[in-house]
Amino acid sequence: MVGIVVISHSRALAEGVVEVARAMGVGKAVVEPAGGDLEGGLGTSVDLVEGAVATADDGDGVLLLADLGSSVLTAKMVIEDAGGESLLLADAPLVEGAVAAASMAATGADLAAVHAAAESAYDHRKTR
Amino acid sequence: MNAEDFVAWVRRAAELVAADADRLTRLDAAIGDGDHGHNMDRGFRAATDAISGGTLPEDAPPGKVLMTAGRAIVSKTGGASGPLYGTALRRAGKALGDTADVDAAALGAALRAALDGVRELGKATEGDKTMVDALAPAVAAYEAALADGSDLAGCVRAAAGAAGEGAEATVPMQARKGRASYLGPRSTGHLDPGAASTALVLGALADVVAQGG
């Protein structure tokens, strides 16, 4: 199954988004948090991101979602370092993207489909 | 420049960053999230440790020195400067390959590779009020000096001077990347902290070369 990693500046935020996404993934989707720096403060840790990717990866690929700034840059760098095509970063809002990705991943869809689901989250408007 | 000179460069950069950490953080507090000095200090300290301790083989070429320093910066810097400076150093190191003695042309190619890496990762162009506004003119000045027949020291001096001028030129710019971009016109009138730290790192290179590197 495609894994999902949620990268945020805040450990609490990453864990909260993961909690919601796992629930929407009906207990099947693999969603791992990578939040904050190594000491639990605000920031981004490449080691935490790589660790979460390793945990989430069962061979079918991993979709990364990032909040902003250094989270996005770190995600891109981890993807570049990994090489190949088993990691993708979604251009998506964090919560909605994670929910969409987890819902799709739980169906057993492939990485391209999970990526597309996450990116479609921008189309779900809230006031119109 | 040999491997020792590159170690000296990273050390000197760490010294200049540590000495200016408070200023960088003040600049960042004006338009960013106020952690740039602290992050850069932590990152370059880690880089210095990584290339000074017994972790690096004694015969490691310059390229390996920069790649090791870059990896340490990525691991220990919490903010956006980690991936950006880490990518810059690692791309430069990769460009140097296994060369033991780096000449002016090779160093120029490495600096160009660093700039390309930063641009690719951050998607910033000149005028966005980022480190690219110091690094891009520095690389251009280096290449112009090289084309004019300058030696390595002359090229590095030109690059460091252009980086400083480039950083100063960010003051009137309106930010189009990072947290500062949320401020719109209110981001003008401030020196970009990333451009300021880039000028320090290139100044460190000029210092090391001037000391007979």
The domain spans of chain B are 3-210
**What per-residue confidence (pLDDT) applies to B171?**
97
Give the mutation candidate from B33, B36, B81, B85 for the A interface (greatest A CB count, under 10 A). Answer: B33
Residues in chain A: 128
Residue of B40, B76, B81, B132 to mutate, interface with A, max A Cβ within 10 Å: B76
As its CATH architecture, domain B3-210 has: Alpha Horseshoe (1.25)
| Residues sharing a CB contact under 8 Å with residue B54, sequence separation 6 or more, in sequence order | none
- Per-residue pLDDT at A97: 97
B73 has a chain A CB within 8 A of its CB: no
Q: Which residue has the higher pLDDT, B108 or B75?
A: B108
The strand order across the sheet containing A3-8 reads A30-35, A3-8, A62-66, A87-89
| CA atoms lying within 13 Å on the CB side of residue B88 | 21
pLDDT value at B53 more than 80: no
Query: Which CATH number does the domain A3-123 belong to among 3.40.1280.10, 3.40.50.510, 3.30.565.10, 3.20.20.80?
Result: 3.40.50.510
**Of B78, B86, B122, which has the smallest distance from its Cβ to A43's Cβ?**
B78
Tokens of B186: 């209110």
pLDDT 10s digits, B160-191: 999 999 999 999 999 999 889 999 999 999 99
B38 touches chain A (CB under 8 A): no
Burial code (b: 16+ CB inside 10 Å, e: under 16) for A47-72 equals: ebbbebbeebbeebbbbbbbbebbbb
* Rounded average pLDDT over B58-81: 93
**pLDDT of B94 above 70:** yes
Q: Which of B79, B121, B179 sits opposite A77 (nearest CB)?
A: B121
Distance, CA of B140 to CA of B163 (rounded, Å): 10
Alpha helices in chain A, H assignment, sequence order: 11-24, 46-56, 70-82, 94-105, 111-119
Q: What percentage of chain B reaches a pLDDT higher than 70?
A: 99
Chains A–B, number of C-beta pairs less than 8 Å apart: 41
pLDDT for A62: 98
What pLDDT is recorded for position B211? 85
Q: What are phi and psi of B191, to 5 degrees?
A: -75, 135
pLDDT < 70: residue spans in chain A: none
Sort out which chain A residues have CB atoms less than 8 A from B121's CB and list them: 73, 76-77
- Locate A86 and state its tokens: 């088993």
Angle subtended by helix axes A70-82 and A46-56, to nearest 10: 60
Q: Do A46 and B75 touch (CB under 8 A)?
A: yes
pLDDT of residue B56: 87
Confirm or reject contact between B55 and chain A (CB < 8 A): no
Q: Kindly list the residues from chain B whose CB atom is less than 8 angstroms away from the CB atom of residue A77.
A: 74, 83, 86-87, 121
Closest-CA distance, B16 to chain A, in angstroms, reads: 23
Q: Does the CB of B203 have a partner CB in chain A at under 8 Å? A: no
Q: What are phi and psi of A52, to 5 degrees?
A: -65, -40
Nearest to B82 among A41, A70, A76 (CB): A70
Please judge whether A47 and B122 are an interchain contact, meaning their C-beta atoms are less than 8 angstroms apart: no
Q: Assess B163–A contact: CB distance below 8 Å, yes or no.
A: no
Structure tokens at B197: 């730290």
Q: What is the pLDDT of residues B116-150, one digit of tens each?
A: 999 999 999 999 999 999 999 999 999 999 999 99
**Does the distance separating the beta carbons of A77 and B75 come in below 8 Å?**
no
Domain locations in chain A as residue ranges = 3-123
* pLDDT, position A27: 82
For residue A34, the surrounding DSSP H or E stretch is: strand A30-35
Residue with the two structure tokens 């969603």: A31
Q: Do A77 and B179 touch (CB under 8 A)?
A: no
Worst-scoring range by mean pLDDT, B12-16, B37-41, B54-58, B192-196?
B54-58
Long-range contacts (CB closer than 8 Å, 24 or more residues apart) made by B6-9: B6/B62, B6/B65, B6/B66, B6/B102, B7/B51, B7/B52, B7/B65, B8/B208, B8/B211, B8/B213, B9/B204, B9/B205, B9/B208, B9/B213
- Residue B31, classed as helix, strand or coil, is helix
Q: Check CB contact under 8 Å for B82 and A44.
A: yes
The pair phi, psi for residue A68, each rounded to 5°, is -170, 170
pLDDT of residue B209: 96
pLDDT score, position B57: 87
Interface contact B78-A74, CB threshold 8 A: no
DSSP state of A84: S
pLDDT exceeds 60 at position B213? no
